[in-house]
Amino acid sequence: MIQLLLIITAVYLYRRYKKANPPLTPEQKEELRKEREAQQEKERQERIAREAELMKARKAVIDSIEQSNHRVYFSYSLVNEESEIYPIDGTANDVIVEGKTNLKELYAQGFRLTKAEKTGASAQLDAFNFLLHLERDGHLVGEPKTVKKAPPPPPIPPPPIKKS
């Protein structure tokens, strides 16, 4: 008896659900598909706008770092002057991957390494993570300097002739 009541209740709930949610017509399905596509396009445009804004902000940060005479770089594995190093955004303490360079290029721009801090506990070569502090004076060392040469000394006069 209880089973029969459960079956009747289940059928009643199923029919009520079907009546409240009739199957969609092809026109309704097409309309839903168009709405979904419009929503996806809108989200894609918003994502592109956000990415462009982030790239513009990242470029501004890189430009401000490049104008600075004191820079901090991070190296995943510093083994020589040509190892890749990445600038660090001082405001967010974030490594900027787009600004990849090496010490050789920075030396040519007039920077000098003032401090290198090892950041890992391992002594393995692949774990030589460093924070590199580089500074430069207001001028570029790589520019040719004009050095004024001292004028040549005046010619030595001949010794006086002795009259005998």
pLDDT value, residue 39: 96
pLDDT per position as a tens digit, 11-42: 999 989 888 888 888 898 899 999 999 999 99
Q: How confident is the model at residue 141 (pLDDT cuts 50, 70, 90)?
A: very low
**pLDDT class of 142 with cuts at 50, 70, 90:** very low
The secondary structure of 57-86 as a DSSP string is HHHHHHHHHHH-SEEEEEESS--STTSEEE
State if pTM tops 0.85. no
Region of 93 on the Ramachandran plot (φ > 0 left; ψ -120 to 50 alpha; else beta): left
Q: Where are the domains of the chain?
A: 30-67, 69-135
Per-residue model confidence as pLDDT tens digits over 47-71: 999 999 988 888 888 888 878 888 8
CATH number for the domain running over 69-135: 3.30.1410
Band of pLDDT at residue 125, cut at 50, 70 and 90: low
Structure tokens at 154: 């005046």
